């Protein structure tokens, strides 16, 4: 009788485990199944800097690690993703042949135990899933006798496409490569799978199923006769240790042509999708890995546009646009070098010589940025591999700037400035096109030579940095009746009723000092005093266990009504929902509770200004991040039969507005595709509010078919009854002094349908918003 060998038993066990642990989650948007492997992870291989900025982060490089493998501290690592072997249910894998998955990208995995050099995504190696795995240990080269491998030098690319070791000097402008960070995987708290119905969890037996079968240990080369090699103990999977798994087969709805060349709609979409994922990762407490995780997922799945490097303007990116993270600029093609301040064309981009495409200032070097139309930019480099200062050299980015001076090509300039809400963060402003007019060398603060490049802004461009500096000045000193500002009319539209004054200005006609005072400014909506507003048999939902503390405990009744999590983080809306529930007047939490965001009036500095074509409008002195609360809709609640025919200040929830998706896509953060947060509002009845005779600053927000503001219903209890309010939030990042507009919607159904089979609505008024997607009318 022949007894089975230990390896044969293990092989049979793995085949059984694989057949029981692979399942399929159908994506609503795609007709094909998405295979999920519960024990494969996507972990960023680099950490954000202390300020959570992307500027010190290299382009992501991923590693494939099967669940049976561990990454040793004394091993070198692949710079490309090794394929994950899969054992067929009909034919087990053996030493000589490995079955391979279907022709799709493997699960992407990155180890957090090392730091990769900056590189352009196009330099990364795409691994064919059909290529079999290496049978030797991943870090032990053939013929090596020394298990202590030396540290591999990181490589970067010169303009002439030569490869140099970046460890020899610091060649990044405005940044210094961070030391080898260790990323804590515990904060990655996203569960892509449901373990609640898994009664036969293998994790309880200290065994994890694999997407492939490996019979020898990772460090055992082929031909070894040692039969006493102990099997490595397999790491059990802890459901509480949640990690992000991207779906490599996700259809991101961006064509290859759109990835190369974008437009404004695509740029806005990519930025909105990225910030939605960022907000979700913040909500689940990913810590400093938020930005790297979000960027890695977008970069590898191809959720980006304008990937093609180019000189001059970038399609869809407007002068004056703001970016809160370095990675946002990379995803829309404005500046493609993740850690470096100088971006330039290479031979692989079709250039015969290196020409600078863009530069970024972020305050780390001795740049002179005070002038609005000129910039003295300090070159890159100046330190050796040990961090000691030395003379800068005329190569790479410095050489590209010199060449651009000789050729006279346009260079995009992005200026980094301090975030007014957080002095540790930066905001990046696209300031348009410049030309390099001169360059020279001079001694820097370290006593060594630095290259200086003088850049001059081209004329006839929209204002960018100049507008930022103007708004910054107003924020610091405010406005009074003695202010010399052009077009100043009145100090405060609210007459002291808001915590922050609302100035009135008319720069269109400086001699016209009239301002809208034909209404009463109020800070809270006026409701109808009828039985229609009363909800019979209503049971209060006050939180009585907070006792003077801000809500946040998942057991808080108000938090439970929001699905067990706060709807806001750092005063930012996480997701649009059918209804958001805030704390009411019977709750024991304080007035500044995190779950009372929309209560208490204005929280940002805005002003009323005269527009060229649309009467009075509203704009902010501050940069506004997507999801920021702007103001509440205030006016008088009406029934439909009470609306006056000539009332132009009516808000109506029953109007048809263009659909858009603002929330995060679950597949981008490793969640089930069926967990998409619904964005369809749930109201007991239509809401009609007129601001004709009473209102606040929301009365002056004009319509746009490409709005930068959106509305969200919010409910809280007042006097024992639920009160539904309409709150306005920023739909996307909004630069200072940009007019705030939302979509008024349309009400007339033409009875026709468009090419997508959707009904066509029109409004009563001609639209003058001027956007590329203008519908021509609004209500």
pLDDT at 638: 92
**Cα–Cα distance for residue pair 679/580, rounded to 1 Å:** 11
Closest Cα to residue 336, out of 366, 288, 295, 367? Answer: 295
Handedness of CA 7, 13, 19, 25 (dihedral sign): negative
pLDDT at 33: 40
Instruction: State pLDDT tens for residues 493-552.
Output: 999 999 999 999 999 998 888 999 899 999 998 875 444 456 667 777 788 888 888 998
User: Encoding tokens for residue 34?
Assistant: 């998405």
pLDDT at 658: 86
Please give the helix or strand (H or E) that residue 471 lies within, else none.
Answer: helix 465-477
**Cα–Cα distance for residue pair 188/446, rounded to 1 Å:** 41
Answer for the pair 478, 490: CB distance below 8 angstroms, yes or no. no
**Cα–Cα distance for residue pair 423/417, rounded to 1 Å:** 10
> Fold for domain 256-475?
PUA domain-like (2.30.280)
SS3 state at 412? strand
Q: How many CB atoms lie within 10 A of CB 416?
A: 22
Handedness of CA 304, 191, 714, 679 (dihedral sign): positive
**Cα–Cα distance for residue pair 152/138, rounded to 1 Å:** 14
pLDDT at 244: 55
Instruction: Report residues of the chain scoring pLDDT below 50.
Output: 1-2, 4, 17-227, 229, 232-243, 529-532
pLDDT at 749: 75
Residues of the chain with CATH 2.30.280.10: 256-475
Closest Cα to residue 218, out of 202, 234, 203? Answer: 234
pLDDT at 10: 57
**Cα–Cα distance for residue pair 84/90, rounded to 1 Å:** 18
DSSP 177: P
**Cα–Cα distance for residue pair 773/779, rounded to 1 Å:** 16
pTM of the model: 0.71
Residue position matching structure tokens 């204002």: 463
> Fold for domain 518-602+628-779?
Beta-clip-like (2.170.270)
Residues of the chain with CATH 2.170.270.10: 518-602+628-779
Angle between helix axes 264-283 and 290-301 (nearest 10 degrees) is: 140
């Amino acid at each position: 009788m022949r007894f089975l060998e230990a390896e044969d038993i293990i092989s049979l066990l793995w085949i059984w485990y694989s057949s029981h642990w692979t399942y399929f989650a159908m994506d609503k948007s795609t007709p094909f199944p998405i295979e999920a492997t519960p024990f494969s992870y996507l972990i960023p291989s680099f950490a954000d800097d202390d300020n959570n900025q992307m500027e010190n982060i290299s382009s992501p490089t991923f590693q494939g690690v099967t669940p049976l493998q561990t990454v040793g501290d004394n091993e070198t690592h692949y710079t490309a993703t090794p394929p994950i072997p899969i054992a067929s249910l009909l034919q087990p894998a053996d030493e000589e042949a490995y079955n391979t998955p279907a022709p799709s990208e493997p699960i992407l995995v990155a180890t957090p135990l090392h730091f990769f050099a900056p590189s352009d995504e196009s330099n990364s190696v795409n691994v064919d899933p059909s290529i079999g795995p290496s049978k030797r240990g991943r870090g032990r080269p053939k013929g090596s006798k020394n298990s202590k491998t030396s540290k591999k030098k990181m490589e970067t690319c010169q303009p002439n496409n030569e490869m140099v070791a970046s460890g020899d000097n610091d060649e990044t402008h405005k940044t210094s490569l961070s030391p080898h960070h260790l990323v804590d995987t515990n904060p990655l708290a996203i569960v892509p799978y449901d373990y609640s119905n898994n009664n036969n969890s293998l994790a309880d037996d200290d065994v994890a199923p694999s997407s492939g079968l490996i019979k020898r240990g990772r460090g055992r080369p082929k031909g070894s006769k040692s039969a006493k090699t102990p099997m490595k103990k397999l790491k059990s999977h802890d459901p509480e240790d949640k990690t992000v798994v991207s779906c490599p087969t996700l259809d991101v709805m961006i064509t290859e042509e759109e990835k190369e060349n974008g437009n404004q709609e695509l740029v806005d979409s990519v930025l909105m999708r990225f910030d939605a994922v960022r907000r979700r990762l913040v909500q689940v407490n990913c810590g400093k890995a938020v930005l790297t995780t979000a960027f890695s997922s977008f970069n590898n799945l191809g959720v980006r546009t304008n990937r093609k490097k180019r000189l001059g303007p970038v399609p869809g990116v407007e002068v004056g646009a703001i970016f809160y993270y370095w990675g946002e600029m990379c995803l829309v093609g404005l500046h493609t070098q993740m850690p470096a301040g100088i971006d330039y064309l290479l031979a692989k981009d079709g250039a015969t010589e290196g020409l600078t495409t863009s530069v970024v200032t972020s305050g780390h070097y001795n740049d002179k940025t005070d002038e609005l139309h000129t910039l003295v930019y300090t070159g890159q480099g100046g330190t050796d591999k040990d961090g000691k200062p030395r003379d800068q050299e005329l190569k790479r980015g410095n050489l590209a700037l010199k060449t651009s001076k000789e050729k006279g090509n346009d260079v995009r300039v992005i200026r980094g400035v301090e975030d007014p809400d957080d002095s540790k963060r930066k905001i990046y402003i696209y300031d348009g096109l410049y030309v390099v007019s001169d360059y020279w060398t001079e001694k820097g603060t370290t006593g060594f030579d630095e290259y200086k490049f003088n850049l001059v802004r081209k004329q006839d461009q929209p204002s960018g940095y100049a507008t930022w500096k103007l708004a910054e000045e107003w924020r610091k000193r405010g406005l009074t009746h003695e202010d010399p500002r052009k077009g100043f009319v009145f100090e405060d539209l609210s007459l002291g009723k808001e915590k922050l004054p609302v100035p009135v200005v008319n720069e269109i006609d400086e001699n016209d000092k009239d301002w809208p005072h034909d209404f009463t400014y109020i800070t809270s909506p006026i409701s109808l005093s009828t039985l229609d507003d009363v909800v019979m048999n209503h049971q209060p939902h006050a939180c009585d266990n907070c006792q003077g503390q801000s809500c946040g405990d998942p057991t808080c009744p108000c938090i439970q009504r929001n699905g067990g999590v706060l709807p806001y983080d750092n005063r930012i809306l996480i997701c649009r929902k059918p209804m958001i529930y805030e704390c009411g007047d019977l709750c024991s939490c304080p007035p500044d509770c995190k779950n009372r965001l929309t209560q208490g009036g204005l929280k940002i500095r805005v002003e009323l200004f005269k527009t060229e074509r649309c009467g009075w409008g509203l704009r902010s002195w501050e940069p506004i991040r997507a999801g920021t609360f702007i103001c509440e809709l205030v006016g008088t609640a009406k029934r439909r039969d009470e609306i006056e025919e000539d009332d132009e200040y009516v808000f109506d929830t029953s109007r048809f507005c263009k659909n858009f998706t603002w929330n995060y896509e679950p597949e981008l953060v490793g969640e089930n595709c069926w967990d998409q947060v619904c964005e369809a509002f749930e109201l007991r009845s239509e809401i009609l509010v007129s601001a004709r005779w009473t209102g606040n600053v929301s009365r002056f927000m004009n319509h746009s078919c490409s709005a930068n503001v959106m509305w969200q219903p919010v409910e809280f209890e007042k006097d024992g009854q639920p009160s539904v309010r309409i709150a306005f939030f920023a739909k996307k990042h909004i630069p200072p002094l940009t007019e705030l507009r939302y979509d008024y919607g349309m009400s007339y159904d033409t009875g026709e349908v468009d090419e997508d089979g959707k009904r066509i609505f029109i409004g009563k008024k001609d639209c003058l918003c001027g956007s590329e997607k203008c519908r021509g009318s609004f209500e």
